Amino acid sequence: MVYELKISDNYSDSYWFEYEQSEFSNIDLIQGKKIRLDNPLNFELKKKVSEKKLLSFDYFLSDGPDFISPRLATLLADNKDFLKDVQLLDANVVINGKNYSGFKVLNILRMLSCIDMDKSDSVPILDHLPDGPKRFTQIVFRNDVIEDFYMARCLEYKYCVVISEKLRQLFIENNVKGIEL
């Protein structure tokens, strides 16, 4: 069984971080290749918020890549099989003018064919390329996905990230906040 990785409903719009452009772009992250960084990626939240409430989350959104908390990063870094699917990139975060380290950006290395193209609804992004990249209005996952994985990008739509049942259970058992489970 595969599940789409989605942000939870209780994640406030006030918690969207700004990504400081660096040596690579968001597009580099959807290629499924390891990335070498000389410096951590930087994110800043421009709005004043309750740090305690914000830092209770484990998954964060930005106008660039999404990233995870130090707590979740530690939990995932202890799982060698997870690290076969995902590279953890260092990130620094600024909240209310304070610097925080230990956050990680997920660079997903695994690609997985998992979308049922016959049951899903999509349209070509470019009219003149009907067989080119698609924009999905509804995604239905195939029932016959049997690959052993933790986290992957859908081969049919690289912006869609999926997690396995075993990762979903790990998130539930460890009360991971910010992800729809």
Six token digits for residue 159? 């912006």
Cβ 43 vs Cβ 18: under 8 Å: yes
The pLDDT value given to residue 132: 76
Q: What angle do CA 131, 134, 136 make, to 5 degrees?
A: 140
d(CA 86, CA 101): 19
SS3 sequence of the chain: CEEECCECCCCCHHHCEEEECCCCCHHHHCCCCCCCCCCCEEEEECCCCCHHHHCCCCEECECCCCEECHHHHHHHHCCCCHHHHEEEEEEEEEECCEEEEEEEEEEECCEECCECCCCCEEEECCCCCCCCCEEEEECCECCCCCCCCCEEEECCEEEEEEEEHHHHHHHHHCCCCCECC
Per-residue confidence in pLDDT tens, the chain, 181 aa: 899 999 999 999 999 999 998 777 777 888 889 999 889 999 999 999 999 999 999 999 999 899 999 999 999 999 999 999 999 999 999 999 999 999 999 999 999 999 999 999 988 888 888 777 788 889 999 999 988 999 999 999 998 999 999 999 999 999 999 999 8
The two three-digit tokens of residue 78, written as one number: 């202890």
The pLDDT, as a whole number, for residue 31 is 87
52 token code pair: 């305690």
For residue 30, the model assigns a pLDDT of 85
Ranges of each domain in the chain: 9-109
Under 8 Å between Cβ of 158 and 35: no
Residue 134: the pLDDT is: 80
Q: Please tell me the predicted confidence (pLDDT) of residue 160.
A: 93
Prediction pTM value: 0.90
Q: What is the pLDDT of residue 21?
A: 80
Contact 114, 92 (CB under 8 A): no
Query: What is the distance between the alpha carbons of residues 107 and 152, in angstroms, rounded to a whole number?
Result: 10
